[in-house]
C-alpha cells in the first residue's frame, strides 16, 4: 500500500463509505511477506511515500513474478522493475501486465501516475550513448509522479546545443545531468541553474575513462555549487533523488 492509498482509505472510513473492519483487514497484512528467496516490504510506501522497487538483475523471471504477485496482493498498485533483461521481461509479461522499455531495461506494472510534483525535472544527457542511463532516470522519475523534460545530445562538445535550452534549465525545479567521457556537463549546467543538479556519470568513454571513473571523479570535484553525484550508471538513484526533491514540502509541517 502506498501513502496516498492509505490516506484515501482513512478518508473513506471517516466518510463512512468503508467499514472500519474492512479497513483493518486491508492493513492487517504483515509488514513483509516471506517468499523464502525474498521478503517483500509491504509497508514501504506508507513509511517512505514510495513503494518497493524491484532490482531485476540477478533475479530469475520466476522470482520477479513471485515478488510482483506478493506486492500486488498486498495493495501495491504500481511496480517499477529496474535492470530487467529482455528475456526475463518476456517471461514476466506472460504472468503480469508489464510495460517494458528495452533501451533502459525498465519494466512497469500498472498505469503511470499523473505528475504531482512541485515543478519540472529537467534531464540533460550529454550524448546518445548515455540514453540507457538517462532513460532509466527519466522513467523512474515519471513512475514516481514527476513531469520530466528530456534534453538529449546536449554535451559540451557542441555547447550551443545546451545553451539553446537555457530557459528550460532556468525554469527547472531539479536537474539531472548525465554524461560519460570527461563528465563536464553537470558543471556547465550547474553554472547556469538555480536548481539542485544531480550528476550521473556513465561508463561511456574510451580507455582512460576507466568505465566511468573519470566522469565520477570530475563530477565529485565540480567547481560549480549545488552538484550532488550518484554512482556510475545509477539512473534509478538519480531519478529517485530528483523525485524526493521535487516533492519536498515547503509550507511547514503537514
pLDDT tens per residue across span 156-202:
999 999 999 999 999 999 999 999 999 999 999 999 999 999 999 99
Nearest to 80 by CA among 113, 107, 115: 107
Residue-wise DSSP of 178-199: EE-TT--HHHHHHTT-SS-EEE
Residue 107's SS3 state is: strand
134: pLDDT strictly greater than 70: yes
253: pLDDT strictly greater than 50: no
For residue 4, the model assigns a pLDDT of 66
Residue 36's SS3 state is: coil
Instruction: Tell me the torsion sign for CA atoms 163, 164, 166, 171.
Output: negative
Q: Among 1-5, 112-116, 177-181, which stretch is predicted with the lowest mean pLDDT?
A: 1-5
Residue 29's SS3 state is: coil
Cβ neighbors of 249 (< 8 A, separation 6 or more) are none
Looking only at the bridges linking them, the beta strands covering 174-179 and 197-201 are parallel
Q: How far, in whole angstroms, is CA 210 from its chain's centroid?
A: 26
What is this structure's pTM? 0.87
In degrees, rounded to 5, the angle at the alpha carbon of residue 231 between the alpha carbons of residues 227 and 233 is: 110
147: pLDDT confidence band, cut at 50, 70 and 90? very high
CATH value of 120-246 in 3.10.20.30, 3.40.50.300, 1.25.40.10, 3.40.50.1970: 3.40.50.1970
Q: What is the pLDDT of residues 38-87, one digit of tens each?
A: 998 888 887 788 889 999 999 999 999 999 999 998 888 899 999 999 99
Pull the grid cell for residue 250. Answer: 515547503
Q: Could you give the percent of the chain with pLDDT greater than 70?
A: 94
Pull the grid cell for residue 27. Answer: 492493513
Q: Among 12-16, 23-27, 103-107, which stretch is predicted with the lowest mean pLDDT?
A: 23-27
Nearest to 177 by CA among 150, 159, 157: 150
Nearest to 109 by CA among 135, 78, 83, 131: 78
CA distance 252 to 39: 35
CB count in 10 Å sphere of residue 153? 16
Nearest to 239 by CA among 108, 76, 129, 58: 108
Domain boundaries, the chain: 3-109, 120-246
Nearest to 83 by CA among 203, 200, 201, 236: 236
CB count in 10 Å sphere of residue 116? 12
Q: What average pLDDT score do residues 1-7 get? A: 66
217: pLDDT strictly greater than 60: yes
Amino acid at each position: 500500500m502506498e501513502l496516498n492509498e492509505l490516506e484515501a482509505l482513512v478518508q473513506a472510513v471517516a466518510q463512512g463509505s468503508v467499514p472500519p473492519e474492512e479497513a483493518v483487514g486491508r492493513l492487517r497484512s504483515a509488514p513483509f511477506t516471506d517468499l523464502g528467496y525474498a521478503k517483500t516490504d509491504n509497508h514501504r510506501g506508507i513509511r517512505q511515500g514510495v513503494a518497493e522497487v524491484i532490482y531485476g538483475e540477478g533475479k530469475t523471471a520466476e522470482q520477479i513474478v513471485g515478488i510482483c504477485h506478493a506486492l500486488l496482493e498486498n495493495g501495491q498498485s504500481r511496480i517499477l522493475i529496474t535492470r530487467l533483461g529482455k528475456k526475463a521481461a518476456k517471461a514476466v509479461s506472460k504472468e503480469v501486465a508489464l510495460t517494458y522499455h528495452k533501451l533502459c531495461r525498465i519494466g512497469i506494472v500498472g498505469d503511470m501516475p499523473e505528475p504531482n510534483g512541485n515543478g519540472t525535472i529537467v534531464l540533460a544527457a550529454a550524448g546518445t550513448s548515455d540514453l540507457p542511463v538517462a532513460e532509466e532516470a527519466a522513467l523512474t522519475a515519471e513512475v514516481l509522479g514527476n513531469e520530466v523534460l528530456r534534453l538529449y545530445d546536449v554535451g559540451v562538445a557542441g555547447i550551443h546545443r545546451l545553451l539553446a535550452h537555457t530557459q528550460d534549465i532556468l525554469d527547472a525545479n531539479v536537474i539531472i545531468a548525465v554524461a560519460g567521457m570527461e563528465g563536464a556537463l553537470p558543471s556547465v549546467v550547474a553554472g547556469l541553474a538555480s536548481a539542485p543538479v544531480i550528476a550521473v556519470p556513465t561508463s561511456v568513454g574510451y580507455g582512460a575513462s576507466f568505465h566511468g571513473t573519470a566522469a565520477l571523479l570530475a563530477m565529485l570535484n565540480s567547481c560549480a555549487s549545488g552538484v550532488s553525484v550518484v554512482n556510475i550508471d545509477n539512473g534509478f538513484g538519480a531519478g529517485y533523488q530528483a523525485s524526493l526533491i521535487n516533492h519536498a514540502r515547503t509550507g511547514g509541517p503537514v
